[in-house]
A = this chain, B = another copy of it.
Amino acid sequence: MFENYQSKNKVSKDDYKSLEQSLRNQLQQLQWQAAKQKKPVIVVIAGDDRSGRHETINTLSKWMDPRFLTVNAYGPSRSDDDAKPFFWRFWRDLPGAGEIAIYLRDWTSTSIVQNLNDDISDKKLKKRIQFIRSFEKGLIDDGALIIKIWLHIAKPVLKERVKEFRNTPYFDKKDELALRNYDHAIETIKGTLSQCNQKQAKWKVIDGSHERTRDVAVAQHLIKNIGQWLDLNQNNESGCKNAKLNKGSFSRLKMPEEDHAITGNTYKNKLEKLQSKFRQQMFDLQKRNLPVVIAFEGWDAAGKGGAIRRLVAPLDAGFYRIRPIAKPTEEEYAHHYLWRFWKQIPRNGHMTIFDRSWYGRVLVERIEGFASINEWSRAFNEINSFEAQLHQHGCLVIKFWLNISNEEQLRRFQEREVTPHKKFKITEEDYRNRDRWEDYTLAIEDMIENTSTQNCPWHIISSNHKNNARLQVLETCVKSIKRHLKSY
């Protein structure tokens, strides 16, 4: 059906004229209504360059209110784009609450073109398709509307055009090429689109060969879909079926038999040796252009700050950034919760250390009820997909849980209260969190169970002795980097 698909009834000039005003009014009305929703609308207009993609988007910009419409068009990729994972730029440009964005050259069509140009193998395309599905699913689960339109041009039409143009100055060699590779391209397109079809993110194929007919069909498809979405005002929360939730075993967080604290010169010598090794590795990573992400999570007062300081002490300041994660800003809150982390991932050869991270979704947000059960339970899969993409791009992901015992935490809180320059670190909230130790334990166990993957495992650091913990963090980093440098 795809190969020879051509719409039979063409929209006449007169029909177009009488339709235009009504389509325009409907589109604008829907825009205004959508602006009031707290969720974004994502429109993908894909297809071959010869299928009128640009013209259709121009028509839409004319019909809709262009002030509340963003067109994300991507030309040839820039250095900045290549130094980050594939989905980075699409995440960066995601519309916020109440916004509508049209993507010209989206993730799927770009992947198809990359495969047709042999920039990515069939195997990599297959992997990419998984990421596409989880990218779109994550947005839909978060309440976004995704409309995907593929503008198709049938082979006989293309043949006709190439024939017509061959002896004119408008002739473009690329058209000839497109015609020659048509059958292979269509197979790839068909296969990819159908594999990317999923609930609420289905591809709509529209015949691109006749301008008026095409633009009307696209507008009608948008009107139908935005209208339905607004009507439903859907509450399509879907939990993660794979999440194995804890039955209360609490085994991972049990503190091991107490080691002796490492102190004095033994500590100093070990620390310096590890730091110097770590410094050397950072240069190796830079030379190899490989990025690193380190996420620190842990109980309050477990010593994240101190561990981070020992970790970065040997590094050149220009090559790492530390991102303390507080509660989201207004703008961040208006986006998918992973948006702010995507924006902050390091470019190649650089390192970002997150002091608290995206795991807030399944810890504080779960416990405090900021995320619903469906939201936090599907977050396990979303996070795994996020980290898998980083890893696939060549980024090393290291995750730490700094673990202390309940008694040690209390001791540290009390110590902070009597130390003048540490007093600012302790608030009533810390004690409130302490009261929920068991709830947190459950959430942490679930987190580790569901997000420890082969490539991005959790490292639980026994932190009752600060020095020991700091050495362990450095040691883990050194080991992980060593393995990463070998495998990449």
Flag A94-123 by CB within 8 Å of B: 1 or 0 each.
000000001010000000000000000000
Q: Are B65 and A305 in contact (CB under 8 A)?
A: yes
Known contacts A25-B421, A330-B329, A331-B330; is-contact A318 B66 (Cβ 8 Å): no
Flag A33-72 by CB within 8 Å of B: 1 or 0 each.
0000000000000000000001001101110011111110
Known contacts A305-B65, A308-B66; is-contact A318 B71 (Cβ 8 Å): yes
The dominant DSSP class at the A interface is helix
Pick from B29, B54, B421: contact of A317, CB below 8 A: B54
Instruction: Give the contact-size bracket for chain A.
Output: 35 or more
Q: Are B316 and A66 in contact (CB under 8 A)?
A: no
Residues in chain B near residue A330, CB distance under 8 A: 329-331
Residues in chain B near residue A28, CB distance under 8 A: 421
Q: Which A301-343 residues sit within 8 Å CB-CB of chain B?
A: 305, 308-309, 312-313, 315-319, 321-322, 324, 329-331
Residues in chain B near residue A318, CB distance under 8 A: 54, 57, 71, 73, 75, 104
Q: Are A67 and B317 in contact (CB under 8 A)?
A: no
A80 interface contact, C-beta 8 A: yes
Pick from B54, B67, B315, B317: contact of A308, CB below 8 A: B67
A170 interface contact, C-beta 8 A: no
Q: Are B71 and A324 in contact (CB under 8 A)?
A: no
Residues in chain B near residue A102, CB distance under 8 A: 317
A175 interface contact, C-beta 8 A: no
Q: How far is the CA of A78 from the CA of B349 in the complex (A)?
A: 15
17 new A-B contacts, CB < 8 A, other than A65-B309, A71-B317, A78-B78, are: A28-B421, A29-B421, A58-B317, A60-B317, A61-B313, A61-B317, A62-B309, A62-B313, A66-B308, A66-B309, A67-B324, A70-B321, A73-B317, A104-B318, A329-B330, A330-B331, A331-B331
Minimal beta-carbon separation of A29 from chain B (angstroms):
7
A32 interface contact, C-beta 8 A: yes
Q: List 23 A-B residue pairs with CB atoms under 8 Å apart, sorted by A's residue number.
A: A28-B421, A29-B421, A32-B424, A54-B316, A61-B313, A61-B317, A65-B305, A65-B309, A66-B309, A66-B322, A67-B308, A67-B322, A68-B324, A69-B322, A70-B321, A71-B318, A71-B321, A73-B317, A73-B319, A75-B318, A78-B78, A78-B79, A79-B79
Residues in chain B near residue A75, CB distance under 8 A: 318
Known contacts A73-B318, A331-B330; is-contact A61 B312 (Cβ 8 Å): yes
Q: How far is the CA of A78 from the CA of B347 in the complex (A)?
A: 12
A355 interface contact, C-beta 8 A: yes
Q: How far is the CA of A104 from the CA of B312 in the complex (A)?
A: 17
